Amino acid sequence: MAEKYGLKIEVTQFNDYVESINQYTAGAYDAVTLTNMDGLSIPAAGGVDTTAVIIGDFSNGNDAVILKDKAALKDIAGQSVNLVEFSVSHYLLARALGSVGLAERDVKVVNTADPDMVGAFQTADVTAMVTWNPMVSEILALPDPHSVFDSSMIPGEILDLMVGNTEVLKDNPDFGKALAGIWYETAQLMTSDTAEGAAARAAMGAASGTDQAGFEAQLAATRLYDKPADAVAFTASPELETTMEHVRTFLCDKGLLGAGAPSADVIGIELPGGKVMGDAGNVKLRFDAGWMQQAADGAL
């Protein structure tokens, strides 16, 4: 697809997710894949005008709150909760607590690196955890875990995006077309019931620290927007604004929209159609369905 537009796109895989976002924010890369929450809290909060070229999927069960020996979410009150602080796991915890009339003050958050999750859950001191797949599947295979809340209960809120630097996309409109085309070509291959599709899922599983079966389990707990028309419909829906209101409120509460940010309005978020949440004079995160619409129209 890049060749179609006379482009050469260099793709780099980072073993450290946050570092990939930091490198993009620093200007070393023109595009990056990240969550909607991280897009707002890192590049946008860092002053980098960023546009979502693709809404690729949302977590539909891949992220979970897990308790040991307890089967009700309310039982989390008073417990220490291991999670990656300020990540989507932290956000999921906040949404879970709110759903049963609790707040973060009712628990103690223990910052824990994601590679340590499975081992930590097997220690006597750890009784509550929030994490994502493949760790969720591994933990749920152990004795006495109970998934008491997961991302399927907040559908459409933990989004995976392909974003690009807004100025780069304006200066090189074919770059956005190529990114969108590559995404949908890859999604079609990844979901195809063919030997090539199976090989792709096996490769992606290995790259994400699991195997083909583990990757396919993750896909089953993901709402994948492999059809561009579905992605356009979601991007244009009122649900996106509702989601971003939850996200920006959480980030502001955690001080992740910049030191001393007076409110969640400090950073403008532009939605399809031109509506802006927050400061219209400081728009740093934009959702544009244009490239997804071109894919839906067969125009890429």
pLDDT for residue 2 is more than 80: no
- pLDDT for residue 15: 82
* Percent with pLDDT over 90 in the chain: 86
Q: Which residues contact 300 (CB under 8 A, 6 or more apart)?
A: 1, 177, 180, 181, 184, 291, 294
- The highest-level CATH class for domain 3-57+159-296 is alpha beta
Is the C-alpha dihedral spanning 129, 130, 134, 140 positive or negative?
Answer: positive
Report the mean per-residue pLDDT for the chain. Answer: 94
Q: Are 163 and 34 in contact (CB under 8 A)?
A: yes
Q: Which residues contact 23 (CB under 8 A, 6 or more apart)?
A: 14, 29, 32
- pLDDT for residue 210: 84
Q: Taking the mean position of all CA atoms in its chain, how far away is CA 130?
A: 15
pLDDT for residue 114 is more than 90: no
| Nearest Cα residue to 225 out of 175, 134, 148, 293 | 293
Mean pLDDT of 239-261: 94
Q: Are 232 and 289 in contact (CB under 8 A)?
A: yes
CB hemisphere CA count around 136 (13 angstroms): 24
Provide the 10 A C-beta neighbour count for residue 193.
Answer: 6
Distance (Å, whole) CA 152 – CA 158: 10
CATH code given to domain 63-153: 3.40.190.10
Burial label for 238, CB within 10 Å (0-12, 13-18, 19+), is: exposed
Confidence band (pLDDT; 50, 70, 90) for 40?
A: very high
Tokens of residue 17, six digits: 């997710």
Q: pLDDT digit string (tens) for 215-244?
A: 888 889 899 999 999 999 999 999 999 999
* Percent with pLDDT over 70 in the chain: 100
Distance (Å, whole) CA 130 – CA 124: 17
DSSP string, 55-107: EEEEESSSEEEEEES--SGGGGTT-EEEE-TTSHHHHHHHHHHHHTT--GGGS
Distance (Å, whole) CA 8 – CA 37: 29
Torsion over CA of 178, 180, 186 and 188, rounded to 10 degrees?
A: -130
pLDDT for residue 258 is more than 90: no
Q: pLDDT digit string (tens) for 118-177?
A: 999 999 999 999 999 989 999 999 999 999 999 999 999 999 999 999 999 999 999 999
Mean pLDDT of 196-205: 91
Same topology between domain 3-57+159-296 and domain 63-153: yes
pLDDT for residue 193 is more than 80: yes
Residue type, 240: L
Tokens of residue 60, six digits: 């539909």
Mean pLDDT of 103-126: 95
| Nearest Cα residue to 186 out of 295, 63, 29 | 295
Distance (Å, whole) CA 174 – CA 3: 11
- pLDDT for residue 70: 94
Residue ranges per domain, the chain?
Answer: 3-57+159-296, 63-153
Residue type, 150: D
| Nearest Cα residue to 58 out of 290, 204, 244, 276 | 244
- pLDDT for residue 7: 86
